[in-house]
Chains A and B, each alone.
Chain A
Amino acid sequence: QKEVEQDPGPLSVPEGAIVSLNCTYSNSAFQYFMWYRQYSRKGPELLMYTYSSGNKEDGRFTAQVDKSSKYISLFIRDSQPSDSATYLCAMSISNFGNEKLTFGTGTRLTIIP
């Protein structure tokens, strides 16, 4: 069993829809949770960063962490074609500089105009 499970998709939704992306994990020691967006042939871009359980909102993006269920989500409201990308969840036990991130496999998302 992988430490982090993420549905690889691909996921296609019409423009304007609400998108829900999810990851589950097995290591209860994870405390820091990230979502990265990666466009084709580009490096990952940090979208959301959360610590422990709870919600965090930034514009059209909302990140949720449920540590009791070991489940994290990223919601995208009013989805736009420019949101078409691969979304990677990542997590770590601490935010020390030398700590590795554990990544999900990424979900390929396409927003259909």
Chain B
Amino acid sequence: GAVVSQHPSRVICKSGTSVKIECRSLDFQATTMFWYRQFPKQSLMLMATSNEGSKATYEQGVEKDKFLINHASLTLSTLTVTSAHPEDSSFYICSAHPGQLSREETQYFGPGTRLLVL
């Protein structure tokens, strides 16, 4: 159980285009999903917290107009990198929390999406 998928796994795009990344919880409902960014040999950097049916909460320094997050259902959140530039090239990872307190639960991570902007 607790499987999270991401699509696509890898994307290459031209500078100035927009890229959408999907994050799905496959066997549980997640009221909250998280989006992270990871540079090579570095730890995870939280970008935003995605709440189903409401606006995402962005971390300090993350541009909300550049990184659009939509969490339209309890199993799907999307991250759109608008007008991508080479400095946006990175490994983007989502996580989802089942949100149940009756058993051990924490964040489960997707496999990540590698974005390369040319």
Residues in A lying within 8 Å of B, measured CB to CB = 32, 34, 36, 41-46, 49, 51, 88, 90, 92, 95-98, 100-101, 103-106, 108
Contact = CB atoms under 8 A, between A and B. Distances in A.
Interface stretch (B14-22, B61-69, B82-90, B95-103): B95-103
Given A49-B106, A96-B99, A103-B44, 6 more contacts: A32-B106, A46-B108, A97-B32, A98-B97, A100-B46, A105-B43
Contact of B43 (A43, A51, A88): A88
Nearest to B41: A108
B110 A43 contact: yes
A97 B98 contact: yes
Interface residues of B, number: 31
B101 A95 contact: yes
A46 B104 CA distance: 12
B97 A97 contact: yes
Interface class of chain B by DSSP: loop
B111 A42 contact: yes
A106 B97 CA distance: 21
A55 B101 CA distance: 21
Interface string B37-68: 00001111010010100000000000000000
B20 to A, nearest CB: 18
Contacts of A104: 43
Given A49-B104, A88-B43, A44 B93 contact: yes
